[in-house]
Amino acid sequence: MDDLASIQQTRDLIANAKAAQSLFAGTNQKDVDRIVEAMAKAGLKNSRKLAEMAVKETGIGVVEDKIKKNEFASRNVYEYIKDMKTAGIIREDKENGVIEVGDPMGVLAGIIPTTNPTSTIIFKSIISVKSRNAIVFSPHPRAVECSYETTRIMAEAAESAGAPKGLINCIRLCTKEGTNELMSHRDVDVILATGGSAMVKAAYSSGKPAFGVGPGNVPAFIEKSAEIPKAVCDIITSKSFDNGTICASEQAVITDESIAKEVVREFIKQGGHFVLDPNDLKLLEKTVIQPGGGVNPSVVGKSAEMIAKMAGIKVPEGTRVLIAPLEKTGKDAPLSHEKLCPVLAFYIESSWQAACERSFELLELGGLGHSLVIHSKDDRIIREFALKKPVNRILVNTPSSFGAIGLSTGLQPSLTLGCGTKGGNITSDNVGPQHLINRKRLAYSKEEDSDCTKSAAVYIYSRAEVIKAISDCINA
């Protein structure tokens, strides 16, 4: 019965969204911007409350870090897009006689992960309304209440600023059948999917245009010219942030052999624990990675000390990251895959060229198109290393989690990171409102007179002559 009720609830919410979007589609830029500003302020105001709800309901992550994510989705995203033109004439090329008009796509389906439910809803709500679209969210079953409350806050802020009721919605009776109905419904125009590989694949298989986010298996290379204490600090800070739940967080460290000892000492100094005992390594593998592959949901967003306790491994108090020294990648090295928790694989290579090859291997396990980070002062190596990588974000001397989303770099602030065709995605960009509008183009003739008017006289036919010509054609 829940399945049928969920499907019906989904259909009702889509109908509400369609009606609201029809009203909202003609809203001018000034009014859109006022509504988006109100939503951003509401997200900031409720950042702590929503973070606490998310951690309590899902058991994933760290409250203080989720507050920062909510603030990022509200403040940083808003500051970047606030002056972006999305309604009416958005661009005019007078030289070529082309005018671009922003046109909303319609009703969006927002698929929400359990790892970052509240910040993802804040983000997707803001970029959807900025582009004059409606959105219906399908939350993860383990994050329904915090997702519903976040949606309520966003909707209430939008409506208080003049948006029509029903523009922002959330399925509360969440089932797989309800989500499938959302993604396949005739009145849903575009899917914004954030979640596991299966969910993203389902979005692309729905027959709808979709912006999906591929998995990340981000390698971090510490090259011999790097400032080692800073590089290690960046990696540990990034990997332990919200207990490793950002898909752009580092999954493996690769270091140059000539500096390996110093790198190891620095990791230990800053709270990293190397799992050297072969039996302990096996215990960690079994705890973090499921027998058939994929991360164990029980460790996602848990602290390093908690994961060590689950595995039966003794670690020093204050351990921030567990580090597994490996020689291989793939099936024989389970911890070389993506791990949404503070566990890192660790490789020592003889040169930056060898590190390059190791990075390829790691990315092919599930991170193609996503991100890579290099710590180095040698610009030649940085460029050589970057040019050969099948990723769309090459981050330099910065924490990967923060750099990829545009917090510590100049990239567009976003919580939906496209992986391009290498990752099976339609875009390689950090997704924003500009991806959620159709662009109408008025294209004026570049010549004052066409060739036909220059070369031929114009003859105006009388009505009688037109009728005779038609009759001749019929009787021929």
Give the H or E element holding residue 344. Answer: strand 343-349
d(CA 240, CA 245): 9
Q: Phi, psi (5° rounding) for residue 322?
A: -95, 135
CB-based burial, 305-340: b 16+ in 10 Å, e otherwise: bebbebbebebeeebbbbbbbbeebeeebbbbbbbb
User: Are the C-beta atoms of residues 329 and 365 closer than 8 Å to each other?
Assistant: yes
- 467: amino acid identity, one letter: I
Selection from 252, 255, 414 nearest residue 345 by Cα: 252
User: Are the C-beta atoms of residues 62 and 73 closer than 8 Å to each other?
Assistant: no
As annotated, the active-site residues are 247
Selection from 322, 340, 323, 335 nearest residue 246 by Cα: 340
Give the end-to-end CA distance of the chain in Å, rounded to a whole number.
Answer: 68
- 7: amino acid identity, one letter: I
Report DSSP state, residue 308: H
DSSP codes joined into one string, 1-13: -HHHHHHHHHHHH
Report DSSP state, residue 420: T
Report DSSP state, residue 65: H
d(CA 298, CA 216): 19
Give the H or E element holding residue 447. Answer: none
- 382: amino acid identity, one letter: I
Give the H or E element holding residue 320. Answer: none
- 108: amino acid identity, one letter: L
Instruction: Give the tokens for residue 443.
Output: 């294209």
d(CA 140, CA 409): 30
Instruction: Give the tokens for residue 227.
Output: 């400032």
d(CA 157, CA 235): 37
Determine how β-strand 88-93 pairs with β-strand 218-222: unpaired
Give the H or E element holding residue 463. Answer: helix 463-475
